[in-house]
Amino acid sequence: MDVMSDVKATRATRLREKSGARRQQQKAEVRRALLDAASGLFLEHGLTGFSLRGVAERVGYSATTVYLYFENKDDLLFAISLDGFEQFGQALQTAYETTADPVERIGALGRAYIAFGVAHPAHYRLMFMERGEFLTKTNPHDQKPTSDAFGILVRAVHEAHAAGRVRPGNPMDLVYTLWAGVHGLVALTLCVPMLNEADLTIRTDHLLDVLFSGFAEKAR
Amino acid sequence: MDVMSDVKATRATRLREKSGARRQQQKAEVRRALLDAASGLFLEHGLTGFSLRGVAERVGYSATTVYLYFENKDDLLFAISLDGFEQFGQALQTAYETTADPVERIGALGRAYIAFGVAHPAHYRLMFMERGEFLTKTNPHDQKPTSDAFGILVRAVHEAHAAGRVRPGNPMDLVYTLWAGVHGLVALTLCVPMLNEADLTIRTDHLLDVLFSGFAEKAR
DNA sequence: TGACAAAGATAACGGTGTTAAGTAAAGTAT
DNA sequence: ATACTTTACTTAACACCGTTATCTTTGTCA
């Protein structure tokens, strides 16, 4: 009996720990399912056609259940944007590693930036146009340092600056000018109907060409 | 009888026309009041805090009355954007006339563009970020040719091109590159919290400087 | 004065985000 | 095994939204 109870106790404890971990894992799974459904609905229908009720229906839950896994609609959108920032950071990181030349590197980053924007319009809109505040919002889950896309760009420009490949002055000015250029091109492509995506490569080439000519100019 | 009826008919027609004109004028006045209220509410609370019920309440009408003067919410927003485009076009026109030098002219246009964007953020967001399709939507009232801001920019660049002051090639590429640059700077300033408006002039100077260095470069 | 058209208001439908209260199941301790 | 508690989820409801259909009022004209 004592032996039995002992066995049962240990097994119960193990089960409790196991079940606690499993509960946590199950909770994470449901959260992930909700997030995937939300991402899908958002990528398909954009911000306007994105509703909590729609997300819930997709997973077979009630609408209010979403509030058990996310603070509110904005929190869910932020989670979606985090996935976007993750992808975006990896794309920039890959571009960064394609070449060792500081100037070519910046060009690769610019092209990767634009390519991501037009390839993931819903994500890009959310991250940089509709919810710009997400850029500076700190990740509460704090899991991954959300591969710092901005940091990659800053580093690349600093390296080109240190190598004397760009005009003297505050390198951050170059960062913002470059960012403005690529963001402007992406944003206009996504928003303005007259700028079809067909001639985007021409405009990309021209923009980067002009920017680099301006960047490269030596002191005045 | 025929004479009398004739006289009565003409007077009746005149009266009808007169009263018809006044009715039309009154209708235009109410429409204008609604539009002003809508603009105010929109400029104060942005697109999210903008509702037909709010507009109606501001004028003391019922919400459904708005539909007697505007097709729907989007039509009302479009009317607001038309006012914005009017102001915007005039600002660019003024900038165009500040100087006769083709290159300086483009610089003045760029600065006017950015100045308008940060001075009228709600209008700018609506016109170029949230409802970019309004750019190419034709004005149904067809009253004013909505002073063509884009045309002014295109003309300025063509003139600089014709004067041999910018790099050879398709001038429209320069137009889009310039547009991307200034729009990018405005859009980031409006959306990204880390880009406070304090250093905007520095960034503006730097952006235009880089762009013009790139523009001015002669053939390769 | 009576017919008619215009202007406006009410009521309602289906949709939204969000909160409060209820329910059924699972876990836990005695 | 039973009683208590926590968890997961649902239903009901509130306040808002855009939009439409159906009144009621008002003014114009013969």
| pLDDT number for residue B217 | 66
* Residue B215: pLDDT band with limits 50, 70, 90: confident
* Residue B94: pLDDT band with limits 50, 70, 90: very high
Tell me which of A37, A70, A103 is where a domain ends.
A70
Give the nearest chain A residue to B177 (CA atoms). Answer: A207
* DSSP labels, B12-77: HHHHHHHHHHHHHHHHHHHHHHHHHHHHHHHHHHTTTT--HHHHHHHHT--GGGGGGTSSSHHHHH
The verdict on A113 and A47 lying in the same domain is: no
pLDDT in tens, B132-187: 999 999 877 665 555 789 999 999 999 999 999 999 999 999 999 999 999 999 99
The verdict on A47 and A135 lying in the same domain is: no
Tell me which of A70, A89, A119 is where a domain ends.
A70
Strand D–CB B93 distance below 7 A: no
* CB nearest B184 (choices: A135, A181, A194): A181
The verdict on B78 and B41 lying in the same domain is: no
| pLDDT number for residue B142 | 61
Q: Inform me whether the pLDDT recorded for A169 exceeds 90.
A: yes
Q: Can you give the residue range of the structural domain that contains A154?
A: 73-220
The verdict on A17 and A43 lying in the same domain is: yes
Q: Inform me whether the pLDDT recorded for A219 exceeds 60.
A: no
| pLDDT number for residue B103 | 95
* CB nearest A184 (choices: B183, B210, B214): B183
| pLDDT number for residue A5 | 37
Can you tell me whether residue A19 is helix, strand or coil? helix
Q: Inform me whether the pLDDT recorded for B79 exceeds 60.
A: yes
The nucleotide whose C1' lies nearest the CA of B67 is D19
Find the mean pLDDT for residues B17-29. 68
Q: Inform me whether the pLDDT recorded for A186 exceeds 70.
A: yes
The verdict on A142 and A198 lying in the same domain is: yes
Beta carbons within 8 Å of B205's beta carbon, 6+ residues apart: none
If one counts the domains in chain A, the total is 2
Q: Inform me whether the pLDDT recorded for A211 exceeds 60.
A: yes
> D20 C1' – B51 CA distance, angstroms?
17
The verdict on A61 and A167 lying in the same domain is: no
Which amino acid is located at B29 in the chain?
E
Under 8 Å between Cβ of B169 and B220: no
Q: Which of A56-65, B10-19, B127-136 has the lowest mean pLDDT?
A: B10-19
- How far is A213 from A120, CA to CA, in rounded Å? 29
pLDDT in tens, A8-63: 333 344 444 446 667 778 888 999 999 999 999 999 999 999 999 999 999 999 99
Find the mean pLDDT for residues B87-98. 98
The verdict on B65 and B89 lying in the same domain is: no
| pLDDT number for residue A144 | 58
The verdict on A52 and A115 lying in the same domain is: no
| Average pLDDT taken over every residue of chain A | 88
Of A201 and A19, the structure prediction assigns the larger pLDDT to A201
Q: Inform me whether the pLDDT recorded for B105 exceeds 80.
A: yes
**The tokens of B206 are what?**
């730097």
CATH number of the domain encompassing residue A23: 1.10.10.60
Q: Which of A167-171, B22-26, B42-46, B98-102 has the lowest mean pLDDT?
A: B22-26
> D1 C1' – A64 CA distance, angstroms?
36
DSSP A164: T
> D4 C1' – A63 CA distance, angstroms?
30
Q: Which of A139-143, B103-107, B186-190, B202-206 has the lowest mean pLDDT?
A: A139-143
Quick one: which H or E segment has residue B88?
A: helix B73-96
| pLDDT number for residue A14 | 40
CATH number of the domain encompassing residue A129: 1.10.357.10
| pLDDT number for residue A109 | 98
- How far is B154 from B24, CA to CA, in rounded Å? 38
Q: How many CA atoms lie within 13 A of B76 on its CB side?
A: 29
The verdict on A108 and A172 lying in the same domain is: yes
The verdict on B12 and B35 lying in the same domain is: yes
| pLDDT number for residue B218 | 64
- How far is B126 from A130, CA to CA, in rounded Å? 12
Q: Which of A23-27, B22-26, B213-217 has the lowest mean pLDDT?
A: B22-26
Find the mean pLDDT for residues B192-200. 90
Which amino acid is located at B142 in the chain?
D
Beta carbons within 8 Å of B162's beta carbon, 6+ residues apart: none
Measured in residues, chain A has a length of: 220
- How far is A182 from A177, CA to CA, in rounded Å? 9
| pLDDT number for residue A7 | 37
Across the interface, whether the CB atoms of A217 and B212 are under 8 A apart is answered no
Tell me which of B51, B70, B89 is where a domain ends.
B70
The nucleotide whose C1' lies nearest the CA of B26 is C7
The verdict on B107 and B54 lying in the same domain is: no
Strand C–CB B27 distance below 7 A: yes
The verdict on B171 and B123 lying in the same domain is: yes
pLDDT in tens, A70-97: 999 999 999 999 999 999 999 999 999 9
Question: Which of the 54-73 residues on chain A come under 7 Å of nucleic strand C at their beta carbon?
Answer: 54, 63-64, 67, 72-73
Q: How far is A180 from chain B (nearest CA, A)?
A: 4
